[in-house]
């Protein structure tokens, strides 16, 4: 890899490591040109997601530890799990690779990942499995990451994927693909997954380290609820389906900022320039493409109701101001 690294450095280019092993990960510590790494096996559309998703998130932990951003391989937005694939790519904090044939990708789906100019809206760190995923459990596969905005608090992004070895929708093709991909090695030897998912409870402190009151926003349904200790994920019936939740801090004025709810990462640092509060409002500074419209959501936690949505238009300067108020 030394020759490749030196050649890229001479041309002022960066490079990605593809399906690297443990030695390559450690070697990258001495290769500053290497900025990203693929952390899952070759993608196949619509099959055996348990062969991809857990390992991507687990190896993310190693990649992040050595200063690399993970890449989950290309995906097809038009496949049956296209939204989940796009979400996982976005929360991975690396590149988002779309591999559909020309004209087949859904622009509205891909818009959840980025600004109008294509700049990706990322969390502060790649999504990792929560600790409980490494122990015996009967839960969906849970991963989390966050956006931290100084003294304004931390927005936690939690995704739950229905992976179960005995789910009736798991096909012979799914099982065969997993066996072939790992040379006959059982997935049960490589990650913990239940035969059935029966436990949908999330403990804020135990699972996510959250000790304060938060607003739990269901990204898929638009429902919001306040909690201080735990909440139940609405049951996910179908194999490979998912739930996605934004856990927003409650400000001292009793309001919570959900953010840009039509993006996967609702309070990304490349969108939100500033966040301030008054007694009855949240004032935000935004960045984007001139003419781009941004719709923001907030919640009045004292009155237990949504605030009126606020839409701001990015000005010629590339910035805008918005106010969500009681």
Per-residue pLDDT tens over the stretch 265-305: 999 999 999 999 999 999 999 999 999 999 999 999 999 99
Question: Is the per-residue pLDDT at 2 higher than 80?
Answer: no
Question: Is the per-residue pLDDT at 5 higher than 90?
Answer: no
* Predicted confidence (pLDDT) per residue in 210-239, tens digit: 999 999 999 999 999 999 999 999 999 999
* Predicted confidence (pLDDT) per residue in 130-175, tens digit: 999 999 999 999 999 999 999 899 999 999 999 999 999 999 999 9
Rounded Cα–Cα distance for residues 232 and 212 (Å)? 17
Question: Is the per-residue pLDDT at 20 higher than 80?
Answer: no
Ramachandran region, residue 204 (left: φ > 0; alpha: ψ -120 to 50; beta: rest): alpha
Question: Is the per-residue pLDDT at 90 higher than 90?
Answer: yes
DSSP sequence for 166-226: T-TT--HHHHHHHHHHTTT--GGGTS---SS----EEEHHHHH---S-EEEEETTT--EEE
Question: Is the per-residue pLDDT at 1 higher than 70?
Answer: no
Entry pTM: 0.96
- More confidently predicted of 1 and 59: 59
- Average pLDDT over the chain reads 94
């Amino acid at each position: 890899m030394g020759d490749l690294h030196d050649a890229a450095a001479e041309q002022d280019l960066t490079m990605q490591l593809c399906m690297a092993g443990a030695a390559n990960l450690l070697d990258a510590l001495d290769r500053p040109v290497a900025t990203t790494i693929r952390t899952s096996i070759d993608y196949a559309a619509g099959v055996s997601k348990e062969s991809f998703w857990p390992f991507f998130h687990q190896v993310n932990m190693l990649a992040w530890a050595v200063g690399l951003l993970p890449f989950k391989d290309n995906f097809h937005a038009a496949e049956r799990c296209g939204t989940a694939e796009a979400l996982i790519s976005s929360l991975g904090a690396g590149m988002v690779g779309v591999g559909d044939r020309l004209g087949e990708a859904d622009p509205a789906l891909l818009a959840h990942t980025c600004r109008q100019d294509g700049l990706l809206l990322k969390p502060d760190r790649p999504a990792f499995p929560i600790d409980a995923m490494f122990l015996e459990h009967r839960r969906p596969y849970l991963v989390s990451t966050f956006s931290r905005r100084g003294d304004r608090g931390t927005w936690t992004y939690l995704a739950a994927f229905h992976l179960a070895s005995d789910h009736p929708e798991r096909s012979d093709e799914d099982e065969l693909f997993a066996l072939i991909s790992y040379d006959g090695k059982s997935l049960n030897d490589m990650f913990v997954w239940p035969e059935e998912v029966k436990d949908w409870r999330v403990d804020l402190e135990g699972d996510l380290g959250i000790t304060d009151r938060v607003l739990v926003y269901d990204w898929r349904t638009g429902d919001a609820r306040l909690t201080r200790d735990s909440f139940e994920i609405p049951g996910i019936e179908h194999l490979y389906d998912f739930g996605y939740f934004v856990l927003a801090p409650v400000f001292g004025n009793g309001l919570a900022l959900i953010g840009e709810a039509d993006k996967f990462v609702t309070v990304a640092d490349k969108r939100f320039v500033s966040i301030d509060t008054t007694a009855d409002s949240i004032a935000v500074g935004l960045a984007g493409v001139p003419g781009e419209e941004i719709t923001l959501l907030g919640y009045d936690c004292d009155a237990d109701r949504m605030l009126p949505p606020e839409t701001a238009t990015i000005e010629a300067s590339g910035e805008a101001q918005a106010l969500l108020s009681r």
